[in-house]
Structure 1
Amino acid sequence: MGTHVIKMPDIGEGIAEVELSQWHVKVGDLVVEDQVLADVMTDKAMVDIPSPVHGKVIALGGQPGEVMAVGSVLISIEVEGAGNLKESAAPAPVKEAPAAPKAEAVVESKPAAAAAPRPAPVCQGPMVAREADERPLASPAVRKHALDLGIQLRLVRGSGPAGRVLHEDLEAYLAQGQSNASTPVGAAYAQRNDEEQIQVIGMRRKIAQRMQDATQRAAHFSYVEEIDVTAIEELRAHLNEKHGASRGKLTLLPFLVRALVVALRDFPQMNARYDDEAQVITRLGAVHVGVATQSDVGLMVPVVRHAEARSLWDSAAEISRLANAARNGKASRDELSGSTITLTSLGALGGIVSTPVLNLPEVAIVGVNKIVERPMVVKGQVVIRKMMNLSSSFDHRVVDGMDAALFIQAIRGLLEQPATLFVE
């Protein structure tokens, strides 16, 4: 028998060290060639490290959350034969998952189960055997979804990596007629003294670092404007009725992308990146719109490239494709970088006002709040209109307050008179 030593691989782009995010094996496990051993995190992506050999794990080189230098020992595997006589780096990573984005908000989160009442317990079905105090792996969004549905996560079988519970697992659990029927009566009123410590590592640490960096470096200011979206919602409904079956359904997002594109023609200073170390502002002709997206592995910002050259349906299809890729962990590095301005929305959970954090090095982020029906005075008459706020943030080092206000007012005018979105 021999030992095959795998070193931390060189991910590229001049990266000298990476964070060990998660082990998929433990000492004593038998592994096969191409089996994923660990996830490591760079500044841009989560990368899977596969095994180049068959064998048995005899030593792990670090703990999750540890920052390891490229070339340091990652894992040792006992193999038949002599093994590798000289230590070698792991093979090229075979799969990339998205890294933490630089933006703060979310777009098109899981459907608004939060607004629905918790279902009554239904018939008990087969469940996963977990201890009462065992905490299954799940994202905050999945935990919130389970809470809204009245499901105990410890009873749900997870189909994600390392048994992580996904939204689909909750739906499958309900479909099988399982619920929290085993919860003793009155348990909701029992005293609890348990506590939990969660290590901030991997994607959550990257998000925290980027949020802190953005708020410390940029001079944030926000501007909120109310918009009457009745007309554009009527246009959207008409287009979906006429063309939805053949071209796909339109959400409000492609209209917002189009409004950004048109408004930026008069406000190019918003479509820019600021290198604060070199003291250089770069204004770009191409409009690459970052769309902040929630996934089970964290927040990320896939990029709709060259939005200025896309139709409504083209933008809608690309937004949908990128959002699905991000949620499924299949978005590439190129799809998660290079944005020039960011659009962020909490969808139906958008609230009245938000204060989005800039996606550095960009200088503007446009935040979308929820649509509500309210009585409004129009030409002296009280009528019901669909209203929505835009809560947007800017870097005051680059963008003046007056320009920011005029920019959002331009977007407001385009959305309230939607025909102007298509007038050249």
Structure 2
Amino acid sequence: MKSAVKSQLTTGKAPLAMYFNDISPGLSESQLRFRVIHFWEAKNIANGTLIGIELLLIDEHGTVMQGFISSSRAPTYLPHLKAGAIYTLQNFLAATSKEIYRVADQNLNTFILERLSHRGLRGDLYDVVGHLRLVNGQSLIDRPVLDEAEVISTRRILVHLQSKDGPVMKLYLWDQTAKDFYKKFTSSEDTPTVLLVTTVNPKVIAGNQTCNLALSSMASSRVFIDKDIQPTIDYFSWLGSNPEIAKRVNADEVTRSETMTIGQIYAYIKQENAKEASFDCIATIDDVKRDSAWYYIGCSGCQTKATRGPSSLMCAKCGKTNVSGVAKYLAKISVYEKNDQAVFVLFGDAGSELTGKHPAELVNNYFEANQDLGAGHQMPVPQALIDTIGQTHKFRVNVSKLNLTGKIQAITVTKIVSPEVLPPVPLISYMLSGRPFYFSLS
């Protein structure tokens, strides 16, 4: 893109400052200011030739973007690169990232051409303030209960913190910082809602498919709540004056599954700028819908619902006229959380994760025991599903286009979140684990 302001070299004027969300494809002489989260060498996997330096960057708005320095410029900039340091950049090229090489949610890649300057700001760390959403996975609707022995043994507390009109961030409090937070939180007469932590460090956490940004306390970090100091007092006052704004989730920042209540999910759906997203939701099952089929017969290849032809099953998506049918979960369950109610649809493997039973096994056993039933008979809801009534789970749910357009109210469950997949794995372990990393080029 062409900048509205000429470069500082030709006009003597300061360059136009931009944020990552303002960048468009093309050349720009505008100025970017960002922190380098992590950087690494990208090499040709066939012959080991250096292609360039890949960077993971974050700007002042919390937007994460991928950067690249070509091999010809690498000797100039590599000695000055430091993870966590803040830099300014003038003169860059933005181009669309290929999906297989992308390590950030932004679909653009910034190619550094020249004038990368180290800002030299203090300690490459910063302070963060916001309102608490979760404390060790517990909502603030009921006061979270913290186990002192657990805090001591794990040496950490995980909080989800949301800034003003910003994203929900994972903030890990370690060692003495965790103990300080525990003391303040448990000794407070009212449930604390505002938290300020000094000198936090951005970290990249690798999940099963994506790399996410989290914040981590340092040995020098200090914690303040509600009315401890003036910044928390100011934020506490703002929070009290804007209760509805404080509950909103910024649709532009929904890039990964965050834990939300049923009410918050439906409030998100009603937002004008809402988009498709996944959330985690803790809810209790109070009924299984019996007025509709709990399973469907899907194509064994693509899982699309198969249709019955003259003599065989057909798949409209695959275009095949003779496909093998496999029973798949499509069960509707009624769930509640506090005073909020919703209908969730168990889709695919989520049903098996909940019941411990594969639908094909349940269907086959039923019809083997009832061989006199006709081919068009639909099996009633099995006991395995009914037995889940009263159970509380963390559901991974998907807000789809059909939800956003109001065509359907039921929300699809894609996974029953299990404790084994909740703890994050540090990026460095992910890189050394032998698994292929997405930025490898050939």
TM-score by length of 1: 0.26
TM-score by length of 2: 0.26
**Higher-Rg member (1/2):** 2
Of Structure 1 and Structure 2, the greater helix share is in 1
